[in-house]
Structure 1
Amino acid sequence: MRILIWHVHGSWTTAFVQGPHTYLVPVTPDRGPDGLGRARTWDWPDSVVEVPPERLRDEHIDLVIIQRPHELALVDQWLGRRPPLVYLEHNAPDGRSPGVPDTRHPVADLPDITTLVHVTHFNRLMWDAGPADTTVIEHGIIDPGHRWTGELDRAAVVVNEPIRRGRTTGTDLLPAFSRAAPLDVFGMRTEGLAEHIGVDPGRCRTQDVPQSDLHTELARRRVYVHPVRWTSLGLSLLEAMHLGMPVVALATTEVTEAVPPGAGVVSNRIDVLTDAVRDFLADPPHARTVGDGARAAALSRYGLSRFLDDWERLLKEVTR
C-alpha cells in the first residue's frame, strides 16, 4: 500500500512508518510545515519516500492520512482527487469556545473522511465528532530498551515550549517539584525557564541534547516527572516508562490508564506527587522496582507490534 502522510508529529510517525507499506511524505524547498520531508532527528526506513507536491498527481496513492484540517485542501490541490481519507487526531480539544466537552471536531461535518482516529480513549470522549465514524488506536513505542541507571539524584521532565504553554504543560508546578528534587528539563524552547518560574538555575536546569542521546540521558535521572495538565497522552511519558523509569504524573487526561498501580505515582494532589519524588530520590532500589513495573506496563499496552497490527486492520478496512 502507498500511503500519503505529512511529517507533523515526528515521534508518532517514527512508529507508524515501521509498518510494511510505502510512505509518501511531501517535501518543499523550504521544508516548511507542509513539506518537512523525511525526519532528520529520527531514524526512518527507506520505505519513507520524499515527494514534491508537483509530483503527487502522478503518484499512485492508496490512502491519505490527514492530521490537520487544512490538509484536505492540499489533497485537492496537489492530487486533484480524493483517495480514501483517514483523519488522525493527535490532540485533546483545546478548551476554547464553546469549551470542553462541546468542542466540535472539524471532521464532524466532512462526509468525505472515511474514519476519524484518536490516539486515546480520553480524546475520543472529549471531542464532539457528530456522526463521523470514529475509532481509537493507542500509541505504540519503538522499544528503546531498559536503560535506567538512576545514577543522578535528579528528576527528568520533558516538555516543549514550557514558557509559552504555561499552565497547559504544568510549568507553574515546576517550582514545587524543584523543591522536592533538582529538575533537568528536556525539550524545545526551554531557554530561560528557571528565571521565568523564579527558581535557582541549579534546581531547574534546561538540557539541550540530540534526539539520539535523549533516552540515555533521561535514564540517568532517578525519576521522571510528568506535570502536564491538559494535552493528549505524552509520548515522552510512555518512553520514560519503556526506559524503566519510575514516573510521577498528574492524574489528568489518559494518564490514569497509562500508568497502572506499581508503575509510578499518579495523583492530582501536589503534595502526594512531591512526596513521591522525594521518596524515589531517597530510595534507589524502590525506584528500580517501580521502574521495572512501569516498563512492563508500557510494553504490554504500548508495544510497537500491537500498534502496527491495529493500524493494519484499519487500513485494510478503509481501502477494501
Structure 2
Amino acid sequence: MKITFLLHNAYAIGGTVRSTLNLAAALALRHDVEVVSVLRTEERPLLGVSGRVRLVPLVDERPGAASYDGDHELMSRPSAVVPPTEVLAHRYTALTDERLRAFLDTTDADVVVATRPALVVTLAGHGSVGSRRPPGASRASGPTRRGPLLIGQEHLSYDNHVPGVREAQNAAIGRLDAFVTVSARDAADHRLHLAGLRTRITNIANAAPRPRAEPSDLRVPLVVAAGRLFPVKRYDLLVEAFAKVVAERPEWRLRIYGKGPERANLCALIDTLGLNDHVFLMGPSATLETEWPKASVAVVSSEWESLGMTILEAMHAGVPVVATDCPHGPGEILTDGTDGLLVTPNDPNALATGLLRLIDDPELRRRVGTTGRTTVQRYAPRVIATEYEQLIADLQEARAAATVKLRRLLRRTRGWLPSRADQDPGTPEPPTAGAKGGAAKGGAAKPGAAKPSAVESAAENAAPKPLRPKAGCRVGGRGEVRVSVTGSGLSGAVLTLVLRRRHAVDDEVRVPLRQDTPGDAESPWTATLHHDERDLAEDRWDLHVERDVDGARRRLRAGPVEQRGLLTAEFPDRSPVAWWIPYTTKDGYLALRAFHRTAHAEVTALPVGDDSIAVEGVLHGAALGEGATLVGVARGEGVADLEAPVRRTGERRATGRPGFHARLTSLPDPAGPDKVIWDLFLRPSPDAEPIRLGRLFDDIVDRKDTDKYPAVTMPTPGGAAPQARFFFTVTNDLAVAVS
C-alpha cells in the first residue's frame, strides 16, 4: 500500500513535523511511504527522515539553490485555496496551489493524509484526487482506478482555530473519508459539532519513538520545558512559578527550548524577576532526545495541549513530568501521582508546588520517572502505525461494501454485470516483488540489463567502498569523550579518527579507531579522548575518519551527541585547565569545542542591582591571594582602566574550592564613541597575570544567545550615566558593554 503525507515544511522543527516523520518511518516498515513537503527551506530535514521514506518537496525557498522558486511569478500571488486567516496563509501562494494541484492530479497513492488545515482544505477541495488512469493511457488501455482514501489530521483542537479556519476545515471534513484527532476528547468535540457527517471522526495519538540516548539519571538540578514560545504555552506562568522554586532551591535551573514571538516578553520577565542565572531560553533544538536526559524534572505549563509530544519524549527519557491538567492531552496521558503530576492550569502557585514536590523528593522522582517509561510504550510507533493500518483497512472495507451494494442495485434494476476488472476498485493491486521504493529508492535492475562478469564482480569487491561515516558520542564522568562510528558506513581494516583544528588546518590529532567486534561489518568502531592523554588547543575541532589503505578521509556526520556527563563531570582542578564540549554543527557534522587555558575564572553568577553589577565565581588552575582585583580591559585599547576589589567567599559545594565576589558600582568614562566594551579578567594577586573570566564548565557551546542580563544605569567620573550590561563573547568569556 502506498501512503502519502502532506506536510507544510518537512525541513523545519515542530511538533507536527516530528510526529508526522515518526509515523511515516513506522509505516514505511511495511508500506511504500512518501512525505510531500509543500516548502523546502533547508538542504536536509533538520529532524531527519528515515531512509525508507521518500521525501518530495514542491516549492524550494532556498536562495541560491538550483531549484529556487522564490523568483517565480506565481510566488507573488496569494493562494486561492488556503483560508486567509490560517496562521501560515502568507506562506501559501498561487505557486503552492499549482504544485499541490499537479501532485494531487497524478498521485498513485492509496491513501493521502493532510496534516494541517491549509492542506486539509486543499485536499478536500481538489475534487477527484489521483489519476483516473495512468498518465498517457487511453480509454482502451483498461478500467480507471478509484481515487485514494483521503484522511485529515488535527494537530491542534476544535476550539483552537480562528473562525475563518474553523469554518473552512469543518466544510472540508465532510469531503474526507476520515478525520483523525490526537486526543479522545477532541474527537468527541468534533463529532458533537459536526453531527450528521458521514466522515469517520476518530482519535489516534502521535507516535513517540524510543530515543537512542541513555535515560536520565535524575542527578542534575535542572528542569526542562520545550515547545513554541507562544502565549498558549504559558511560559510566563512557568517563569513566575520558577521564581518561587528558586526562593527555596536556588541551585536549580530551568531551560526552555523553542522559538517564537514570546521570546522578548519572556526575556523581560526574567530580567524583572532577577532570574538571569536560573532561567535560560535555549532556542530551538533538533535533538531534544539528548536534551531530556539532562533534566531531572520536565514541565508543561500550557493552557491547552492537543496531546503533548514533549510529555511523551520526557517520559521516554525517564524524566518525571509536571503538567497542567489542561484540555486535552496531559490528562489523557498522565495518571496523577503515578506516572506524572497534574496541577491546576493558569496557577503559578500550583505549578511551583508540583515542581517542588518532585525537586524535594528524589525517590518520588525516580518512581514516577520509571513508571512513565512503562506508560509511554502505549505510544510506540509500531502501536500507532497499527492503529492507522486498522483505520485504513476499515475505510477500504466500507468502500468495498458500498461498491458491492451498488453492483447489486444495478443488477436488480438494469441487469448490469461488472467486468472482472471492476470487481473491487477500492483495493490496491499487490506490489510486485522488488517494487517497493521504486527507482527513487534504488529498486531492482532494469529488465534485460547485462549482468557483470566474474572479473568485474571481483574487481568491484576488491575496491574499497565509499566512506559514509556517522558517529554518536557520549561524555563520561571525567569529561572524556567516547566517539562511536557506525560500522555500516565504513570499510577497511585500519581506520583512524582525525581531529582537525578549524582555524589551523595543519594542526591535527590522530586517534586509532578500534572495532568493538572485529570482523563484524555492522559493529561500531570506537575511540575515547581522555584529558590526561592529550591536549587540544583552544578552538573548534572537526572530526573525520581516515582509511589507511588509500588515505580516504571523510567528515563525520553526527548521530546522538550525549553531553549529559558534562553536567556532573569532575571540575578540572589542575593547570592547564581543559574542557571539551562535543556538539552537532549547523550542517549536521560532529565537532568538538575545546577550551585550554593555563588558569580560568569560572563565572557562577552575575547579580544585578539597581545601580551596580557583580561577578561571582571560582578560580581554577591558580590560587586566589590577597589583593585580588577584577580588571576590565578596554576593547581595542589594550589598557586596563577598570578595577574593583575581589573578596574571597565560602567554599563552593560543587567544586570544593573557595569562591570570589566583585562588585562594580561605577565605570570609567569611555575615551570615545567606539570604546564601549570592557573584557573582564581576574588578577589573583597584585603581581600576577590577569586570568580570563568566563563560563565554560557545562554543555553549552555558545552562550551569546542563552545567557542574557539586563542593563543597569551606572555613573562615570565625568558625570555620565550610561547603561551597562554583562554579556558573553563568542569564546564564552565575560565582558561589559556600555550604551
Fold match (TM-score > 0.5):
yes
Name the counterpart of 2:206. Answer: 139
Q: For the pair shown, which has the larger CA radius of gyration, 1 or 2?
A: 2
CA displacement, residues 15-73 of structure 1 (integer Å, 9 cap, x when unaligned): 21121222233356x626xxx89733234233323264456644421111122343343
2:298 match: secondary structure: strand
Are the counterparts in 2 of residues 104 and 129 from structure 1 also a CA contact under 8 Å?
no
Name the counterpart of 1:47. Answer: 53
> Which one-letter code corresponds to 1:5 in the other structure?
F
Matched, 1:306 2:374: no
Matched, 1:175 2:239: yes
Name the counterpart of 2:174. Answer: 111
Name the counterpart of 1:277. Answer: 355
Alignment counterpart, residue 259 of structure 2, candidates 181, 188, 192: 188
1:26/1:59 CA distance change after superposition, 3 Å: same
Number of positions where the alignment pairs a residue of Structure 1 with one of Structure 2: 307
> Which one-letter code corresponds to 1:89 in the other structure?
E
Worse-superposed segment, 184-193 or 105-114: 105-114
1:150 match: secondary structure: coil
Are the counterparts in 1 of residues 259 and 284 from structure 2 also a CA contact under 8 Å?
no
1:316 match: secondary structure: helix
After TM superposition, where is structure 1 displaced by more than 6 Å over at least 4 residues in a row?
none
In structure 1, what is the Cα distance between the partners aligned to 2:148 and 2:174? 13
1:228/1:158 CA distance change after superposition, 3 Å: same
Aligned-pair identity in percent equals: 21
Name the counterpart of 2:5. Answer: 5
> Which one-letter code corresponds to 1:281 in the other structure?
I
1:70 match: secondary structure: helix
CA displacement, residues 50-101 of structure 1 (integer Å, 9 cap, x when unaligned): 2644566444211111223433436739857753211111111345677xxx
Q: Aligned-residue CA RMSD in angstroms?
A: 3.0
Are the counterparts in 2 of residues 24 and 48 from structure 1 also a CA contact under 8 Å?
yes
1:37/1:309 CA distance change after superposition, 3 Å: farther
Once the two structures are superposed, the pairs formed by residues 241-256 of structure 1 within 5 Å of their partners are 241-253=315-327, 254-256=329-331
> Which one-letter code corresponds to 1:291 in the other structure?
G
CA displacement, residues 256-295 of structure 1 (integer Å, 9 cap, x when unaligned): 2211131121020543431231232233333122111111
In structure 2, what is the Cα distance between the partners aligned to 1:227 and 1:170? 6
CA displacement, residues 145-167 of structure 1 (integer Å, 9 cap, x when unaligned): 6511223212111121x2xx22x
2:355 match: secondary structure: helix
Matched, 1:148 2:213: no
Matched, 1:266 2:266: no
> Which one-letter code corresponds to 2:18 in the other structure?
S
Worse-superposed segment, 273-282 or 247-256: 273-282
In structure 1, what is the Cα distance between the partners aligned to 2:267 and 2:226? 15
2:108 match: secondary structure: coil
CA displacement, residues 113-142 of structure 1 (integer Å, 9 cap, x when unaligned): 111111101211333233232111122210
Unaligned runs of 5+ in 1: none
In structure 2, what is the Cα distance between the partners aligned to 1:221 and 1:258? 20
1:258/1:73 CA distance change after superposition, 3 Å: closer
> Which one-letter code corresponds to 1:120 in the other structure?
S
In structure 2, what is the Cα distance between the partners aligned to 1:204 and 1:298? 28
> Which one-letter code corresponds to 1:118 in the other structure?
T
Matched, 1:232 2:306: yes
CA displacement, residues 174-200 of structure 1 (integer Å, 9 cap, x when unaligned): 233222153110112374433245342
Name the counterpart of 1:319. Answer: 396
1:173 match: secondary structure: helix
Are the counterparts in 2 of residues 22 and 49 from structure 1 also a CA contact under 8 Å?
no
Once the two structures are superposed, the pairs formed by residues 119-130 of structure 1 within 5 Å of their partners are 119-127=182-190, 128-130=193-195
> Which one-letter code corresponds to 1:250 in the other structure?
T
In structure 2, what is the Cα distance between the partners aligned to 1:112 and 1:65? 13
Name the counterpart of 1:87. Answer: 152
In structure 1, what is the Cα distance between the partners aligned to 2:385 and 2:43? 22
In structure 2, what is the Cα distance between the partners aligned to 1:3 and 1:136? 19
Alignment counterpart, residue 215 of structure 1, candidates 262, 270, 289: 289
In structure 2, what is the Cα distance between the partners aligned to 1:249 and 1:307? 23
Unaligned runs of 5+ in 2: 9-15, 59-98, 133-146, 247-252, 398-739
> Which structure shows the higher helix fraction?
1
Q: Cα distance, 1:109 vs. partner?
A: 5.9
Q: Cα distance, 1:104 vs. partner?
A: 6.1
Worse-superposed segment, 40-49 or 218-227: 40-49
CA displacement, residues 198-237 of structure 1 (integer Å, 9 cap, x when unaligned): 342222101246423x222222111001101113112011
Name the counterpart of 2:489. Answer: none
In structure 1, what is the Cα distance between the partners aligned to 2:371 and 2:220? 20
User: Could you say which structure has the greater relative contact order, defined with CA pairs below 8 angstroms and 6 or more residues apart?
Assistant: 1
Matched, 1:63 2:133: no
Worse-superposed segment, 223-232 or 197-206: 197-206
1:55/1:37 CA distance change after superposition, 3 Å: farther
1:37/1:4 CA distance change after superposition, 3 Å: farther
Are the counterparts in 2 of residues 38 and 44 from structure 1 also a CA contact under 8 Å?
no
> Which one-letter code corresponds to 2:300 in the other structure?
H
In structure 1, what is the Cα distance between the partners aligned to 2:340 and 2:122? 44
In structure 2, what is the Cα distance between the partners aligned to 1:289 and 1:308? 29
Q: Cα distance, 1:239 vs. partner?
A: 0.7
1:70/1:216 CA distance change after superposition, 3 Å: closer
1:177/1:310 CA distance change after superposition, 3 Å: same
> Which one-letter code corresponds to 1:184 in the other structure?
R
Q: Cα distance, 1:112 vs. partner?
A: 2.4
Name the counterpart of 2:122. Answer: 73
> Which structure shows the higher strand fraction?
2
1:70/1:95 CA distance change after superposition, 3 Å: closer
Worse-superposed segment, 190-199 or 280-289: 190-199
1:84/1:202 CA distance change after superposition, 3 Å: same
2:370 match: secondary structure: helix
Are the counterparts in 1 of residues 7 and 37 from structure 2 also a CA contact under 8 Å?
no
Q: What TM-score do you get using the length of structure 2 for normalisation?
A: 0.38
Alignment counterpart, residue 16 of structure 1, candidates 23, 28, 33: 23
In structure 2, what is the Cα distance between the partners aligned to 1:282 and 1:51? 49
